[in-house]
Protein backbone atom coordinates (compact mmCIF):
# COMPACT_ATOMS: atom_id res chain seq x y z
CA UNK A 1 0.00 0.00 0.00
CA UNK A 2 2.93 2.34 0.77
CA UNK A 3 4.27 1.83 -2.75
CA UNK A 4 0.83 2.62 -4.18
CA UNK A 5 0.64 5.79 -2.10
CA UNK A 6 4.05 6.90 -3.31
CA UNK A 7 3.03 6.28 -6.92
CA UNK A 8 -0.15 8.30 -6.46
CA UNK A 9 1.91 11.03 -4.80
CA UNK A 10 4.22 11.26 -7.83
CA UNK A 11 1.35 11.41 -10.31
CA UNK A 12 -0.46 14.00 -8.18
CA UNK A 13 2.63 16.22 -8.09
CA UNK A 14 3.12 15.90 -11.85
CA UNK A 15 -0.44 16.97 -12.61
CA UNK A 16 -0.32 19.75 -10.01
CA UNK A 17 2.80 21.12 -11.72
CA UNK A 18 1.03 20.98 -15.10
CA UNK A 19 -1.91 22.82 -13.54
CA UNK A 20 0.46 25.49 -12.19
CA UNK A 21 1.98 25.86 -15.67
CA UNK A 22 -1.51 26.49 -17.04
CA UNK A 23 -1.82 29.23 -14.43
CA UNK A 24 1.39 30.80 -15.73
CA UNK A 25 -0.02 30.65 -19.28
CA UNK A 26 -3.17 32.44 -18.10
CA UNK A 27 -1.06 35.13 -16.42
CA UNK A 28 0.94 35.47 -19.64
CA UNK A 29 -2.29 36.02 -21.59
CA UNK A 30 -3.36 38.69 -19.12
CA UNK A 31 0.01 40.43 -19.38
CA UNK A 32 -0.21 40.34 -23.19
CA UNK A 33 -3.65 41.96 -23.11
CA UNK A 34 -2.38 44.72 -20.79
CA UNK A 35 0.61 45.45 -23.02
CA UNK A 36 -1.06 45.16 -26.43
CA UNK A 37 -4.72 46.01 -25.79
CA UNK A 38 -4.94 49.03 -23.53
CA UNK A 39 -8.73 49.34 -23.82
CA UNK A 40 -9.26 45.86 -22.32
CA UNK A 41 -7.36 46.41 -19.07
CA UNK A 42 -10.37 45.34 -16.98
CA UNK A 43 -10.55 41.98 -18.74
CA UNK A 44 -6.77 41.68 -18.49
CA UNK A 45 -6.78 42.13 -14.71
CA UNK A 46 -9.57 39.53 -14.41
CA UNK A 47 -7.43 37.10 -16.44
CA UNK A 48 -4.40 37.86 -14.26
CA UNK A 49 -6.48 37.24 -11.14
CA UNK A 50 -7.67 33.88 -12.49
CA UNK A 51 -4.09 32.88 -13.28
CA UNK A 52 -2.95 33.75 -9.76
CA UNK A 53 -5.83 31.78 -8.23
CA UNK A 54 -4.95 28.76 -10.39
CA UNK A 55 -1.30 28.89 -9.27
CA UNK A 56 -2.25 29.24 -5.58
CA UNK A 57 -4.66 26.31 -5.92
CA UNK A 58 -1.94 24.23 -7.58
CA UNK A 59 0.44 25.09 -4.74
CA UNK A 60 -2.16 23.88 -2.24
CA UNK A 61 -2.46 20.58 -4.10
CA UNK A 62 1.32 20.20 -4.30
CA UNK A 63 1.65 20.79 -0.55
CA UNK A 64 -1.01 18.18 0.16
CA UNK A 65 0.72 15.62 -2.04
CA UNK A 66 4.28 16.42 -0.91
CA UNK A 67 3.39 16.24 2.80
CA UNK A 68 0.96 13.33 2.25
CA UNK A 69 -1.82 15.23 4.00
CA UNK A 70 -5.23 13.69 3.38
CA UNK A 71 -7.05 16.80 4.64
CA UNK A 72 -5.19 19.20 2.34
CA UNK A 73 -5.55 16.84 -0.62
CA UNK A 74 -9.30 16.47 -0.10
CA UNK A 75 -9.68 20.24 0.35
CA UNK A 76 -7.76 20.73 -2.88
CA UNK A 77 -10.00 18.22 -4.70
CA UNK A 78 -13.18 19.93 -3.44
CA UNK A 79 -11.90 23.37 -4.51
CA UNK A 80 -11.09 22.00 -7.96
CA UNK A 81 -14.55 20.48 -8.32
CA UNK A 82 -16.11 23.83 -7.42
CA UNK A 83 -13.84 25.46 -10.03
CA UNK A 84 -14.94 22.89 -12.61
CA UNK A 85 -18.62 23.64 -11.98
CA UNK A 86 -18.09 27.42 -12.24
CA UNK A 87 -15.94 27.16 -15.36
CA UNK A 88 -18.33 24.75 -17.06
CA UNK A 89 -21.22 27.13 -16.43
CA UNK A 90 -19.16 30.08 -17.66
CA UNK A 91 -18.00 28.34 -20.85
CA UNK A 92 -21.54 27.12 -21.52
CA UNK A 93 -22.89 30.65 -21.07
CA UNK A 94 -20.24 32.12 -23.38
CA UNK A 95 -20.86 29.42 -25.98
CA UNK A 96 -24.65 29.90 -25.98
CA UNK A 97 -24.55 33.69 -26.03
CA UNK A 98 -21.57 34.06 -28.35
CA UNK A 99 -23.56 36.01 -30.96
CA UNK A 100 -24.89 38.45 -28.36
CA UNK A 101 -21.43 38.99 -26.92
CA UNK A 102 -19.96 39.62 -30.38
CA UNK A 103 -22.68 42.23 -30.93
CA UNK A 104 -21.58 43.89 -27.68
CA UNK A 105 -17.99 43.82 -28.93
CA UNK A 106 -19.20 45.51 -32.13
CA UNK A 107 -20.86 48.21 -30.02
CA UNK A 108 -17.62 48.58 -28.08
CA UNK A 109 -15.84 49.26 -31.35
CA UNK A 110 -18.48 51.89 -32.16
CA UNK A 111 -17.65 53.61 -28.88
CA UNK A 112 -13.95 53.47 -29.67
CA UNK A 113 -14.47 54.90 -33.13
CA UNK A 114 -16.90 57.52 -31.87
CA UNK A 115 -14.38 59.03 -29.44
CA UNK A 116 -11.10 59.48 -31.35
CA UNK A 117 -8.57 62.14 -30.54
CA UNK A 118 -9.74 65.39 -32.20
CA UNK A 119 -8.12 66.58 -34.32
CA UNK A 120 -6.46 63.30 -35.31
CA UNK A 121 -2.74 63.90 -35.32
CA UNK A 122 -0.05 61.85 -37.09
CA UNK A 123 1.15 60.49 -33.75
CA UNK A 124 -2.37 59.69 -32.51
CA UNK A 125 -2.29 57.62 -29.29
CA UNK A 126 -6.04 56.91 -28.99
CA UNK A 127 -7.48 53.44 -28.41
CA UNK A 128 -8.45 53.14 -32.08
CA UNK A 129 -4.83 53.91 -32.99
CA UNK A 130 -3.70 51.05 -30.76
CA UNK A 131 -6.07 48.71 -32.63
CA UNK A 132 -4.80 50.02 -35.98
CA UNK A 133 -1.22 49.24 -35.04
CA UNK A 134 -2.18 45.91 -33.52
CA UNK A 135 -4.28 44.56 -36.43
CA UNK A 136 -2.57 46.41 -39.29
CA UNK A 137 -5.79 48.15 -40.29
CA UNK A 138 -6.99 51.71 -40.79
CA UNK A 139 -10.13 53.50 -39.67
CA UNK A 140 -13.60 52.03 -39.41
CA UNK A 141 -14.19 50.62 -42.90
CA UNK A 142 -10.88 51.64 -44.44
CA UNK A 143 -8.25 54.34 -44.91
CA UNK A 144 -10.85 56.48 -46.72
CA UNK A 145 -12.31 57.32 -43.29
CA UNK A 146 -9.45 59.81 -42.86
CA UNK A 147 -8.62 62.86 -44.92
CA UNK A 148 -5.04 62.25 -43.87
CA UNK A 149 -4.39 58.80 -42.35
CA UNK A 150 -2.37 58.93 -39.09
CA UNK A 151 0.91 57.10 -38.56
CA UNK A 152 -0.94 54.21 -36.91
CA UNK A 153 -2.44 53.33 -40.32
CA UNK A 154 0.97 52.52 -41.77
CA UNK A 155 2.59 49.11 -41.48
CA UNK A 156 5.53 49.35 -39.09
CA UNK A 157 7.64 46.98 -41.23
CA UNK A 158 6.83 47.92 -44.83
CA UNK A 159 5.71 51.50 -44.12
CA UNK A 160 2.80 50.94 -46.51
CA UNK A 161 -0.68 52.27 -45.85
CA UNK A 162 -3.08 49.64 -44.47
CA UNK A 163 -6.22 49.87 -46.62
CA UNK A 164 -8.45 47.42 -44.71
CA UNK A 165 -10.86 48.72 -42.09
CA UNK A 166 -10.54 47.76 -38.44
CA UNK A 167 -14.15 46.81 -37.70
CA UNK A 168 -14.20 43.53 -39.62
CA UNK A 169 -10.67 42.62 -38.55
CA UNK A 170 -11.56 43.36 -34.93
CA UNK A 171 -14.71 41.20 -35.02
CA UNK A 172 -12.95 38.38 -36.88
CA UNK A 173 -10.12 38.41 -34.35
CA UNK A 174 -12.59 38.37 -31.43
CA UNK A 175 -14.57 35.44 -32.92
CA UNK A 176 -11.39 33.45 -33.57
CA UNK A 177 -10.01 34.04 -30.10
CA UNK A 178 -13.42 33.26 -28.61
CA UNK A 179 -13.26 29.74 -30.00
CA UNK A 180 -9.66 29.34 -28.83
CA UNK A 181 -10.65 30.54 -25.34
CA UNK A 182 -13.49 28.01 -25.11
CA UNK A 183 -11.24 25.11 -26.12
CA UNK A 184 -8.52 26.29 -23.71
CA UNK A 185 -11.08 26.48 -20.89
CA UNK A 186 -12.23 22.92 -21.67
CA UNK A 187 -8.59 21.80 -21.49
CA UNK A 188 -8.18 23.49 -18.10
CA UNK A 189 -11.33 21.76 -16.83
CA UNK A 190 -10.00 18.36 -17.92
CA UNK A 191 -6.70 18.98 -16.12
CA UNK A 192 -8.59 20.06 -13.00
CA UNK A 193 -10.69 16.89 -13.06
CA UNK A 194 -7.56 14.74 -13.34
CA UNK A 195 -5.87 16.65 -10.50
CA UNK A 196 -8.98 16.32 -8.34
CA UNK A 197 -9.22 12.58 -9.02
CA UNK A 198 -5.57 11.94 -8.13
CA UNK A 199 -5.83 14.14 -5.01
CA UNK A 200 -8.94 12.34 -3.76
CA UNK A 201 -7.55 8.85 -4.41
CA UNK A 202 -4.25 9.87 -2.79
CA UNK A 203 -6.08 11.17 0.28
CA UNK A 204 -7.97 7.89 0.66
CA UNK A 205 -4.74 5.93 0.17
CA UNK A 206 -3.04 7.95 2.91
CA UNK A 207 -5.94 7.32 5.31
CA UNK A 208 -6.00 3.59 4.52
CA UNK A 209 -2.24 3.31 5.05
CA UNK A 210 -2.57 5.07 8.41
CA UNK A 211 -5.36 2.69 9.48
CA UNK A 212 -3.31 -0.35 8.53
CA UNK A 213 -0.28 0.94 10.41
CA UNK A 214 -2.47 1.57 13.47
CA UNK A 215 -4.21 -1.80 13.60
CA UNK A 216 -1.49 -3.93 12.05
CA UNK A 217 1.81 -2.55 13.33
CA UNK A 218 5.01 -4.16 12.11
Cα 7 to Cα 66, 199, 210, distances in angstroms: 12, 12, 16
pLDDT of residue 92: 84
Please give the distance of CA 154 from its chain centroid, rounded to a whole number: 31
pLDDT of residue 120: 53
Write down the domain spans for the chain: 2-84+188-215
> pTM of the full predicted structure?
0.76
pLDDT of residue 24: 96
The SS3 call for residue 137 is coil
pLDDT of residue 119: 46
pLDDT tens, N- to C-terminus, the chain (218 residues): 445 788 889 999 999 999 999 999 999 988 888 877 666 677 788 889 999 999 999 999 999 999 989 999 999 999 999 999 998 898 888 778 777 877 887 887 887 777 554 445 555 556 788 888 888 899 888 888 888 888 889 988 888 998 888 988 888 888 888 878 888 888 999 999 999 999 999 999 888 877 766 665 54
Q: How far apart are CA 82 and CA 5, in angstroms?
A: 25
pLDDT of residue 125: 58
pLDDT of residue 214: 65
The SS3 call for residue 79 is helix
CB count within 10 Å of CB 16 equals 25
pLDDT of residue 91: 82
How open is the CA angle 125-120-140, to the nearest 5 degrees? Answer: 85
Cα 146 to Cα 117, 118, 139, 164, 203, distances in angstroms: 13, 12, 7, 13, 65
pLDDT of residue 217: 54
Secondary structure letter of residue 154 according to DSSP: B
Burial of 54 (0-12, 13-18, 19+ CB in 10 A): buried
Amino acid sequence: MACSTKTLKVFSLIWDILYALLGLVIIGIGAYVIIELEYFNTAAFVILGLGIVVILTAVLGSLGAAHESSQISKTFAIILLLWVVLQTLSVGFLWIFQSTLLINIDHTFDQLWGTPAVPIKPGNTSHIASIERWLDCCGNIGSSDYLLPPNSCYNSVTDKLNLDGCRQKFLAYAAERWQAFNFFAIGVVLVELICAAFAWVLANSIVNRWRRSKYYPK
